[in-house]
Amino acid sequence: MVEPSPTPDLVMGQRLWAMFGVAILLVAGMNAYAVMREPDVAEIGNLIEHTNEVVRVEGTLTTWMDDPYGTGENRVDLIIEDDTGVIELRWYRATDLPPVGTKVTATGNVIEWDGRIYMQALGSGAVSWKQSDLPDVVTTSLADVAADPVNHSDRVLRLTGYIGEAVSPDASWTSAMLNDHPTYSNAEHHMKLIISSAPGRWIEHGARIQADGLLQYDASDLVWAFHVTGPEVRVDESHTPAIDTLDWDDQESWAYRSGAIVRLSGDLIAEGDDLFLSHDGTKVCFIPGEGDEEAAASLVNSTTTASGRLLWSTSRSTWCLDASTSDDLDLINPTEVADLLGLLEVAPTDLIEDGQRHTVRLYARYAIAPGVEDSSTSFADSASYRPGWRTVTATVPGPRSDWIEAGQAIVAEVSVAWDGAAMRARLMVHEMSLDGDSPDPVQLLWDDGAQQWSYSRDMQVALSGVLTPDENGGYRLVEAGGERSIGLEPLPTSVALDELHANTTLRFIGRWSQVQSEDGLSMTYPLAAADVSDRDGDGLADGLEAVLGTNPNDEDSNDDGVDDRQELTEA
């Protein structure tokens, strides 16, 4: 008997099953190949040739920063260096890291963005190392490093010293000083200390610390710097840092104690539910510790001494002494602008991309005029020029009703933007408040000359001379005993305008400006909104009282019941 032949449908089904099986084998084989095949090892200097490829690099871990912007992101930025270059690895879902100086192998995708190369990796297998890759740590001292820094620059060092400023738990980048004595003036050696990644706890000013890190030359400041990571900084709890006492008459120095535990004496006053320490009209808010509220309330309207952490209140735009343990979002430890600029040097693209706002303390490099519109200006990391100072362009918002003097300390909330026209980063100021009194006026001298005078344009300056009416109904300030003069625009209320002050050399303070002459061929320097000092308010300028021999701080110098001006008028 002859068997019937298979139907066409049955044959087709068998073929499909065979094709499906072959496909499964191919996919499995490709997956196995992908698992078994390791990415190519590339030199860091040649990563531009591997854009959008997954590669491996082998090098030394020089630093790392956990959650670089304090947003809670599970990300660590690593800096890896080999003989050909340096690369940043952004590692998401990172695991434990080895010490700085370890030779590591990193696997990730090479990304090029706006001319900048970095690697990006995900998961626990992205960075690996062996026990033999761990660095040999050399325990040494600041004195030994200072004697021969070059010899210590190729090894991992363990240094012990006293830190020169307080570091907050969430400070992702800090530039401080490591000293060999808790008192700065008594220290023999001072080393620049760069702390990357948040330490996770307060490191007090003057604390004795030990850290492992790398010594690198900082070309921007022409100094050697010790680079460490925040979580690796170990604090010697057996050493208790000294508590500094703040001086009301030296408020400009308070910024150097920001975040530190300090002591301050003053009159304790209450305004609503808030407490303040007051002195000569200046107030600092005080937040008592938990359980000390009643004791603090009993001291209201008395002179007392309080201790607490010196922090800036964003809502009050003033300093506060915080003796509590609460994490008040209104109280912050402003970042020094040098720290923000240091972070900008390491990761400029990240700062520009995330748009995060930073509260920083900085100084006006130039005087900022009142105005309605936003204004472009420049900020610096110190009140006046010093070797190695850093500056950054910025945009300040309008309207502004008053002048901001050059050298004025400012606490500002800023973000970082890219200025395409100038091809550089720019600070965008969202809010700002002045920190402390305005700087003293710049003292000008007649012998300085026009070129030197031009550096003080728009600034508050002081210049001595004799007020002299001109033929146009205005005034000029004439050099005493000379012929040189400048235009003078005194305030209408200035005491220097009356006849008692005629032909007297007086010190005028005003706004220094530079304007074109009437013929358009030169520049002139008028002193606008000018006035003289009259400290005792008796209607006699301090300069005139110096000539008369009366006390410029007492309106009745001889205590006869008649003020000095009246006596001069009746004489």
Overall size of the chain counted in residues: 571
Mean pLDDT value across residues 239-254: 88
- Please check the confidence at residue 559 and state whether its pLDDT lies above 90: no
The model's pLDDT over 499-544, given as tens digits with 9 standing for 90+, comes to 999 999 999 999 998 887 777 667 788 999 999 999 998 999 999 9
pLDDT score, position 1: 46
Residue 178 sits at φ, ψ, to 5 deg, of -110, 120
pLDDT over 90, % of the chain = 39
The model's pLDDT over 423-452, given as tens digits with 9 standing for 90+, comes to 788 999 998 988 888 889 999 999 988 888
Strand 318-322 to 282-287 pairing: parallel
Residue 458 CB-half CA count within 13 A: 14
What is the spatial distance between Cα 286 and Cα 130, in angstroms, rounded to a whole number?
52
Cα 73 from chain centre: 23
Cα 172 from chain centre: 12
Highest-confidence segment of 66-70, 376-380, 416-420:
376-380
- Please check the confidence at residue 31 and state whether its pLDDT lies above 70: no
Range from 28-37, 300-309, 316-325 carrying the lowest mean pLDDT: 28-37
- Please check the confidence at residue 32 and state whether its pLDDT lies above 70: no
Residue with tokens 């809670």: 72
pLDDT score, position 166: 92
- Region for residue 316 given its phi and psi (left: phi exceeds 0; alpha: psi -120 to 50; beta: otherwise): alpha
DSSP calls for 38-73: PPPB--GGGGGGGTT-EEEEEEEEEEEEESTTSS--
Of residues 25 and 255, which shows the higher confidence score? 255
DSSP calls for 433-451: EE-SSPPPPEEP-GGGHHH
Range from 13-17, 38-42, 176-180, 566-570 carrying the lowest mean pLDDT: 13-17
- H or E element that contains 31: helix 8-36
Residue with tokens 């920001």: 258
Q: How far is CA 333 from CA 166, 229, 275, 359, 383, in A?
A: 9, 20, 20, 8, 19
pLDDT score, position 146: 92
- H or E element that contains 515: strand 515-516
Measuring CA to CA, which residue among 413, 414, 410, 412 is closest to residue 426? 414
Residue with tokens 């531009």: 48
The DSSP letter of residue 496 is G
Of residues 22 and 279, which shows the higher confidence score? 279
Instruction: Specify whether the CB–CB gap between 477 and 465 falls below 8 A.
Output: yes
User: 559: buried, middle or exposed (CB in 10 Å: 19+, 13-18, 0-12)?
Assistant: exposed
Residue 505 CB-half CA count within 13 A: 10
Measuring CA to CA, which residue among 478, 445, 473, 443 is closest to residue 459? 443
Please state the pTM of the whole predicted model: 0.64
pLDDT score, position 36: 46
- Please check the confidence at residue 5 and state whether its pLDDT lies above 60: no
What domains are defined for the chain?
44-133 (2.40.50.140), 137-235 (2.40.50.140), 244-332 (2.40.50), 335-434 (2.40.50), 442-532 (2.40.50)
Computed over every residue of the chain, the mean pLDDT equals: 86
- Please check the confidence at residue 337 and state whether its pLDDT lies above 80: no
The model's pLDDT over 357-409, given as tens digits with 9 standing for 90+, comes to 888 888 999 999 998 888 899 999 888 877 677 889 999 998 888 999 999 99
pLDDT score, position 161: 95
| Residue 162 neighbours by CB under 8 Å, 6+ apart | 178, 179, 180, 181, 182, 187, 206, 207, 208, 209
pLDDT score, position 24: 74
What is the spatial distance between Cα 57 and Cα 260, in angstroms, rounded to a whole number?
42
Q: Which amino acid is at 151?
A: N
Mean pLDDT value across residues 7-17: 58
The model's pLDDT over 170-200, given as tens digits with 9 standing for 90+, comes to 888 898 999 999 888 888 999 999 998 889 8
Measuring CA to CA, which residue among 372, 426, 419 is closest to residue 398? 372
The DSSP letter of residue 203 is B
Per the DSSP assignment, residues forming a β-bridge with 430 are none
- Please check the confidence at residue 87 and state whether its pLDDT lies above 80: yes
Instruction: Specify whether the CB–CB gap between 414 and 430 falls below 8 A.
Output: yes
What is the spatial distance between Cα 325 and Cα 318, in angstroms, rounded to a whole number?
20
Cα 542 from chain centre: 39
The CB density around residue 490, as the number of other CB atoms within 10 Å, is: 21
The CB density around residue 371, as the number of other CB atoms within 10 Å, is: 12
| Residue 109 neighbours by CB under 8 Å, 6+ apart | 52, 53, 54, 119, 120, 121
pLDDT score, position 452: 85
